[in-house]
């Protein structure tokens, strides 16, 4: 049977642990703070790599490079406050509204104005491309929702059922015939472009700040006041649940790429992440100012949050090599190349493969080598000589107790070799985890050398220090016992009263 080296016992860990969900969101680190020209009212990532970030603030749109986070281009063709900059699904065009009642479509490469839609009478707060790439959704403070045809530059649908400002809207993924809008008239409406009317109307208790259609299109999330409402459209708009974790108005919503997590930003300076299956809050992020907008990149590696202070925060998530390999397209190797002949060299096998383990020779510490040879005294000297941790020294002393070798390790010493042992006992005798072993060591030392104290002033001084420390610890324990007794009496009196 092989020799088992002395192992320092593991300390008990606290019950607090990091859940996998929290660990994932904590990887969004190193926030970059960028100051804009005004409040950051809208953020959106390009659907195409490298997922450039489109920022709407003041009278301009800013595009930041997805790799370097540096400013790439600015679009300043606005006569008033710009609103709701958004990419087309193919990433080639950009649409935005403004407070001069216009909706403009820009070329993403040249920044040229390709289309200008005039028809709203008040500021336009919502602009989105529909999934068919040829229609644009817009919503305005004039209480109307319009669908624009890009080729003809005409409005193909005008919905005017809302009775107050329309400040939010979204398209349904994969369905260009349905759009959802939220208004300050406390309603969420679902519009059918083909029927040119509202097919579902859902009432809320507060003005609606944002709406998002979840994956599949059967559920819509709406931010109204400090709550996020989940509505089941297949059941006529029935409320599935209300997420009320925020303290102030929720201003912005977005989904991750898989549609399984809903992010909500609020004026209470927090972004909260919810599981859309269990409707539980999974994580919380704090920010230095009220949150007005947020966006998550299509590869779930960057989180952008816009604030009322005119600053937006950009966090990046470190991607593991395993994730990168899974996302990278498979490369076909050409015969005769070096990569072709070395293929498979990094393969580590499947989880259910039988592995033949190669046993490596373990290098033993010096005290383990002495202990293996039953040289107990030298093992104790070795563990004390190299400034090892108290846990390691106590583990070796405990091993000596189990082997009945403690007396042999301590006997036959002079005052120079006893000095480090006694000093260690003095230092750690009041440690709760070490005390049982060290008290036993102190008793053995007194049994062996108690009659010789008058011959060594140095050893006598150390033992006096040990006695003083033990007395101090006993007084502390007595005081604690009295305190516990008083607390028990108080608790008992509270229960009787």
Q: Which string of DSSP letters, residue by residue, matches 273-286? A: EEETTT--EEEEEE
* Range with lowest mean pLDDT among 236-250, 257-271, 405-419: 405-419
Torsion 238-240-246-250 (CA) sign: negative
Question: pLDDT-derived band of residue 329, with 50, 70 and 90 as boundaries?
Answer: low
What is the mean pLDDT of the segment spanning 222-243?
94
- Of the candidates 334, 368, 263, the residue with the CA atom closest to the CA atom of residue 305: 263
Q: What is the pLDDT averaged over residues 170-184?
A: 92
| Contact call for residues 120 and 84 (beta carbons, < 8 A) | no
Distance CA 187, CA 33 (A): 35
Q: Which residue has the higher pLDDT, 421 or 141?
A: 141
Residue recorded with tokens 């970030």? 53
DSSP string, 303-342: EEEEETTSEEEEEEEPPPHHHHHHHSPPPPPPTTSHHHHT
In Å, what is the CA distance from 109 to each residue of 74, 130, 338?
Answer: 11, 20, 40
Residue 273: both structure tokens together: 């992440």
Torsion of CA 179, 46, 273, 312, to 10 degrees: -110
Residue 25's pLDDT band, with cuts at 50, 70 and 90, is very high
Lowest mean pLDDT among 132-141, 238-247, 333-342, 465-474: 333-342
Confidence of residue 408 (pLDDT cuts 50, 70, 90): confident
pLDDT of the residue at 294: 96
131, with CB counted inside 10 A (0-12, 13-18, 19+), is middle
How many CA within 13 A on the CB side of residue 474?
6
- Per-residue pLDDT for 11 more than 60? no
pLDDT at 17: 58
pLDDT at residue 366, as a whole number: 84
Structure tokens at 276: 């859309």
* Residue 311 DSSP class: E
- Residue 438, Cβ neighbours under 10 Å: how many? 22
Q: Per-residue pLDDT tens for 360-398?
A: 667 788 888 888 888 888 888 888 887 778 888 888 888
User: In this structure, what token pair is assigned to residue 167?
Assistant: 């400040």
What would the two tokens of residue 84 be?
A: 């709701």
Mean pLDDT computed over every residue of the chain: 88
pLDDT tier, 226 (very low <50, low <70, confident <90, very high otherwise): very high
Written as six digits, the tokens of 347 are: 């393969």
Contact 453, 442 (CB under 8 A): no
pLDDT of residue 167: 95
Task: For residue 12, name the pLDDT band (cuts at 50, 70, 90).
Answer: low
Residue 380 token pair = 């104790």
Q: Are 496 and 488 in contact (CB under 8 A)?
A: no
Give the whole-angstrom CA distance, residue 400 versus residue 371: 9
- State the pLDDT at residue 39: 94
159, 138 contact by CB (below 8 A): no
* Count of residues making up the chain: 497
For 420, list phi and psi in degrees, rounded to 5: -65, -30
Contact predicate 429/469, CB 8 Å: yes
> What's the pLDDT score for residue 76?
93
The pair of three-digit structure tokens given for residue 23, joined into one six-digit string? 């660990």
Query: Which pLDDT band holds residue 425 (cuts at 50, 70, 90)?
Result: confident
Instruction: Tell me which of 193-207, 238-252, 360-374 is least confident.
Output: 360-374
271 or 446, higher pLDDT: 271
Residue 472 predicted with pLDDT over 90? no
Structure confidence at residue 200 (pLDDT)? 94
Residues of the chain with pLDDT > 70, as a percent, come to 92
Residue 146's pLDDT is what?
Answer: 96
Task: Tell me the pTM.
Answer: 0.65
Q: Does the pLDDT value for residue 306 go beyond 70?
A: yes
H or E stretch at 185: none
How far is the C-alpha of 339 from the C-alpha of 422, rounded, in Å?
A: 63
Confidence of residue 2 (pLDDT cuts 50, 70, 90): low
Query: Judging by beta carbons within 10 Å of its beta carbon (0-12, 13-18, 19+), is residue 177 exposed, middle or buried?
Result: middle
The region of weakest confidence among 61-75, 101-115, 222-236, 340-354 is 340-354
By CB atoms closer than 10 A (0-12, 13-18, 19+), residue 299 is middle
Between CA 356 and CA 375 the distance in angstroms is: 36
Angstrom distance (rounded) from CA 201 to CA 238: 11
- Asked if pLDDT for residue 8 goes beyond 70, the answer is no
């Amino acid at each position: 049977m092989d020799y088992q080296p002395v192992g320092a016992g593991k300390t008990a860990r606290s019950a607090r642990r990091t859940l996998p969900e929290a660990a994932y969101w904590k990887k969004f680190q190193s926030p970059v703070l960028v100051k804009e020209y005004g409040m950051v009212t809208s953020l959106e990532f390009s659907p195409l790599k490298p997922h450039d970030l489109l920022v709407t603030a003041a009278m301009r749109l800013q595009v930041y490079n997805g790799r370097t986070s540096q400013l790439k281009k600015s679009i300043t063709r606005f006569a008033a406050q710009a609103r709701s900059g958004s990419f087309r699904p193919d990433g080639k065009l950009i649409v935005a509204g403004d407070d001069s009642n216009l909706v403009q479509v820009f070329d993403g490469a040249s920044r040229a104005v390709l289309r200008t839609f005039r028809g709203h009478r008040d500021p336009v707060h919502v602009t989105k491309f529909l999934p068919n790439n040829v229609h644009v959704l817009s919503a305005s403070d004039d209480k109307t929702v319009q669908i624009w045809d890009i080729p003809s530059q005409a409005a193909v649908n005008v919905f005017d059922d809302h009775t107050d400002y329309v400040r939010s809207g979204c398209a349904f993924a994969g369905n260009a015939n349905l759009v959802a809008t939220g208004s300050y008239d406390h309603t969420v409406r679902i519009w059918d472009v083909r029927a040119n009317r509202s097919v579902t109307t859902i009432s809320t208790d507060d003005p609606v700040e944002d709406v998002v259609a979840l994956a599949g299109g059967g559920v819509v999330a709406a931010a109204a006041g400090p709550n996020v409402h989940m509505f089941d459209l297949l059941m006529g708009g029935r409320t599935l649940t209300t997420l009320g974790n925020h303290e102030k108005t929720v201003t912005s919503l977005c989904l991750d790429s898989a549609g399984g997590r809903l992010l909500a930003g609020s004026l209470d300076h927090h972004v909260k992440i919810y599981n859309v299956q269990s409707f539980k809050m999974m994580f919380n992020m704090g920010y230095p100012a009220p949150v007005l907008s947020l966006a998550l990149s299509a590869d779930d590696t960057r989180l952008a949050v816009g604030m009322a202070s005119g600053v937006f925060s950009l966090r990046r998530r470190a991607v593991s090599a395993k994730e990168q390999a899974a996302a990278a397209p498979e490369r076909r190797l050409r015969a005769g190349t070096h990569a072709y002949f070395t293929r498979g060299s990094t393969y580590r096998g499947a989880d259910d493969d039988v592995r033949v383990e190669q046993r490596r020779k373990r290098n033993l510490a010096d005290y383990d080598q002495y202990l293996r040879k039953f040289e107990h005294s030298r093992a104790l000297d070795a563990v004390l000589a190299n400034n090892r941790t108290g846990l390691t020294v106590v583990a070796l002393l405990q091993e000596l107790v189990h082997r009945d070798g403690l007396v042999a390790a301590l006997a036959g010493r002079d005052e120079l070799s006893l000095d480090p042992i006694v000093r260690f006992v003095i230092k750690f005798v009041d440690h709760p985890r070490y005390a049982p072993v060290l008290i036993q060591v102190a008793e053995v030392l007194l049994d062996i050398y108690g009659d010789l104290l008058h011959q060594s002033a140095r050893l006598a001084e150390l033992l006096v220090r040990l006695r003083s420390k033990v007395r101090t610890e006993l007084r502390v324990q007595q005081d604690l016992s009295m305190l516990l007794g008083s607390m028990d009496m108080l608790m008992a009196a509270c229960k009787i009263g």
